[in-house]
Structure 1
Amino acid sequence: KLRRTQEQLLQSEKLAAMGRLTSQIAHELNNPLYGIMNTLELLKSEVPENSKRRKILEMALSETIRLTDLLKKMLSFSRPDQEERQVTDINTILDEILLLHEKQLREHDIRIVQDLDDSVEPVYASKNQLRQVFLNIIANARDAMSDGGTLTVKTESQDGKVIIKISDTGTGIKKSDLNRIFDAFFTTKDSVKGVGLGLSVCYGFIKDHGGDIWVESEYGSGSTFTISLPVYQPSKD
């Protein structure tokens, strides 16, 4: 337990330093990128639709938009506390996400198992940030089950906390990668699929909510991400 606490403190320090760095980088790159986007849009409007040059400009514009999206993620990573928080029901968020993505998951031959405890109490949180956390973990689970499998989402109460477990039967995570899985810019995917910011952003959001997040995995057998969040305590004033 002491070792895990030390690892969490080290990870928090690394995230704080990375947050400051990413914020500086994002601000420095933001304005030039928007200038490039506007220029590409202007050039595109002056080129005939069926022209090869137009296609090249559209490709360049698409990549520039991808970079601006990455910058937004970097800024949300460096400023996790700016979202408005409210009393939030975890089960409702998970239910909505699974309902919206049910068709897509089934198309990947992924069976969904929901085990949501109706007795779990609400938390005080940013709904958007929690959605981002759950969506990211579910998307990773989907990618890990390219040949189909089972996605299990479970909630329960435990010692004044809400526990969320998201499990898959996918490829799992190598033991050598487990300690780095929440590091910024670390990814087991190729560069086309990801840049390694997703789980580090999730880690930052959950820690900023006074919670905890960890993963257990066996390579070749799947993974389980566990999130712990404190139950909402109304003010006594």
Structure 2
Amino acid sequence: MLFIFVFNLLFAIILFITQPKENEANRWMITFAMSGGIGALSEALLTDIIPGVQRFDIENASHILFLAHIYLQFLGEVISPYAILMYSIVYSQIVKGKRKKALAYVLSLPMVFMIFFTDFHPDIDINFRILLIWSAPYFLIASFIMFCTWRDEINVYQREQKFRVFIVLVPAWLGVFIFNYVLRAIDSQTELFRIVPMFFFGAYIFFIGYIFLNGAFGIKVKVEQQQILDKSIQIMNGGTAVLNHTIKNEISKIKFFFNIAQNSIEKRDLDEAEKAIDSVFSAIEGIDNMVDRIRAKTEEIVLKETNVEMINLITDCVRGVEKIFNARGIKIKTEFKVDTILYGDPILLKEVVNNILNNAMEAIVVTEGLIHIQMFKMKNGGISIEITDNGVGISKEELNRIMEPYFSTKKNIKNHGLGLSFCYKTVRAHDGELSVHSEVGKGTSMIIKLPKSRIISTKISS
């Protein structure tokens, strides 16, 4: 049992060192690893360490170690199911914010109640039948959540990652559940719980194999050539670069509306001038919001999530550019087949739509330009937002690199090639998928797919 403690401790240390502190899911995984480790340490104290100490006739040390065995076993048995369920909840993001915090407190109550169903002297005697009443739902619900999280993922790369996590964790903790909880509830004297290390050992084999070959739990040891997009995204200084790109887009709007305001004042049309100035303030506010939202000196875009009415968000984006587009002879048609409330960051999602609309405008060279925006429900319960233009289109060679940072199809030194890489990163942060379909001479479609896990409510739009 001692080697299980060492392996669990090593696993927890790896997660702690390699993962960012804000990764709450891995904090719960560390808790589970340590609870399994101290349970194994408790058994090792009883069978290996204490007998060794007794050979040296050190009574005080033996007594202290025996007390440690009692309390470590109790903590290991009651914390493991709790940590597993909390990990699955946080990892899947099915509960967020204050509800998640409240749920963490509520789910911890059975651990406290187990104190009254456990004899601690002269040796520990846990009532495994009572323990099974609440631990069984914890293990089984956690397993179901992990399965659904993998099954419902629409992003190919994240789906592969979630499958690896599922394969490493779920068989291991179900083995612990059966041999350490179910069988001991049936027969408290059974020794079959000693098979549990085999499940941990199997999990470690999968874990080590995955981190060397593909990566798991956000860890990757073997350096190999990956998808150009995901690799090159890392060189993007998310904060400064995206902010610069946002400012560039908004300054174009500010110049346009100031020209309208100037012409309106010359014509003494103060109402039109006031509307143009209001639009300028709106663009400045957009820049100000982005400054507040992007973390300086890091590559991370911080989501500030709330309920977002997607029709209103897209409509606001359209209204913000409508005059500029009309001046260029471009019409925008919207078609909302669903009315969706989504849990996400409204400012960043709006910036994604604005970037795509801006790219569409710059791609249209015909006199009768058209941009068609559709939003509909997908079969898997998520939503798809498709923005299609009748612009010049993108060649196959450029299409393969279109979302790389600093790559741009526009032959203009002021275009930094950051818009779509920002869109990609933001959609990925919302657990979604961004794809591009284009044909030279016919136009381009940008498709944003957001998963069911993000949907608060959906109804057919009238």
Q: Is the 8 A contact 2:340 2:455 kept in 1?
A: no
Distance 1:76 1:140 in 2: 27
Aligned to 2:363: 144
Specify whether residues 76 and 99 from structure 1 end up closer, same or farther in structure 2 by C-alpha distance, changes over 3 A only: farther
Specify whether residues 219 and 23 from structure 1 end up closer, same or farther in structure 2 by C-alpha distance, changes over 3 A only: closer
- Work out the percentage of aligned pairs sharing the same amino acid: 26
* 1:92 and 2:315 matched: no
Aligned to 2:230: 12
* 1:188 and 2:409 matched: yes
Quote the offset at 1:146 in angstroms: 2.9
Distance 1:202 1:166 in 2: 13
Distance 2:299 2:424 in 1: 12
Q: Is the 8 A contact 1:108 1:146 kept in 2?
A: no
Aligned to 2:434: 213
Secondary structure, aligned partner of 1:99: helix
Q: What's the Cα RMSD here?
A: 2.9
Quote the offset at 1:187 in angstroms: 0.3
Quote the offset at 1:135 in angstroms: 0.4
1:23-172 matches, cutoff 5 A: 78-80=299-301, 82-117=302-337, 119-148=338-367, 149-158=369-378, 159-172=380-393
Distance 2:422 2:235 in 1: 11
Quote the offset at 1:75 in angstroms: 5.7
Specify whether residues 133 and 91 from structure 1 end up closer, same or farther in structure 2 by C-alpha distance, changes over 3 A only: same
Of 214-223 and 182-191, the range deviating more from structure 2: 182-191
Distance 2:427 2:303 in 1: 13
Q: Under a length normalisation based on structure 2, what TM-score does the superposition of the two structures give?
A: 0.36
Distance 1:233 1:221 in 2: 33
Q: Which has the higher helix share?
A: 2
Distance 2:394 2:328 in 1: 20
Quote the offset at 1:160 in angstroms: 1.4
Secondary structure, aligned partner of 2:446: strand
Q: Give the AA of the match of 1:18.
A: I
Aligned to 2:443: 222
Quote the offset at 1:193 in angstroms: 3.7
Quote the offset at 1:188 in angstroms: 0.9
Quote the offset at 1:122 in angstroms: 1.8
Q: 1:200 aligns with which of 399, 407, 421?
A: 421
Residue by residue over 1:14-71, the C-alpha shift from the partner in whole angstroms, topping out at 9 and shown as x without a partner, is 32x224xx269x59xxxxxxxxxxxxxxxxxxxxxxxxxxxxxxxxxxxxxxxxxxxx
Q: Give the AA of the match of 1:147.
A: V
- Where relative contact order (Cα < 8 A, 6+ residues apart) is larger, the structure is 1
Distance 2:443 2:238 in 1: 34
Specify whether residues 100 and 220 from structure 1 end up closer, same or farther in structure 2 by C-alpha distance, changes over 3 A only: same
Q: Is the 8 A contact 1:77 1:201 kept in 2?
A: no
Residue by residue over 1:134-182, the C-alpha shift from the partner in whole angstroms, topping out at 9 and shown as x without a partner, is 0000000000113341000010011211100000000000111111000
Q: Is the 8 A contact 1:145 1:169 kept in 2?
A: yes
Max Rg structure: 2
Quote the offset at 1:129 in angstroms: 0.5
Distance 2:448 2:297 in 1: 19
Q: Is the 8 A contact 1:120 1:157 kept in 2?
A: no
Q: Which has the higher strand share?
A: 1
Q: Under a length normalisation based on structure 1, what TM-score does the superposition of the two structures give?
A: 0.68
Quote the offset at 1:98 in angstroms: 0.7
Q: Is the 8 A contact 1:120 1:162 kept in 2?
A: no
Secondary structure, aligned partner of 1:122: strand
Q: Is the 8 A contact 1:76 1:201 kept in 2?
A: no
Specify whether residues 13 and 160 from structure 1 end up closer, same or farther in structure 2 by C-alpha distance, changes over 3 A only: farther
Quote the offset at 1:227 in angstroms: 0.2
Quote the offset at 1:5 in angstroms: 4.0
Distance 2:295 2:366 in 1: 32
Q: Give the AA of the match of 1:211.
A: G
Q: Is the 8 A contact 2:382 2:455 kept in 1?
A: no
Consecutive unaligned residues in structure 1, runs of 5 or more: 28-71
Aligned to 2:56: none
Quote the offset at 1:224 in angstroms: 0.3
Distance 1:76 1:220 in 2: 41
Q: Is the 8 A contact 1:116 1:154 kept in 2?
A: yes
Secondary structure, aligned partner of 1:115: strand
Q: Is the 8 A contact 1:105 1:142 kept in 2?
A: yes
Distance 1:172 1:189 in 2: 12
Instruction: Kindly tell me the number of residue pairs found equivalent between the two proteins.
Output: 181
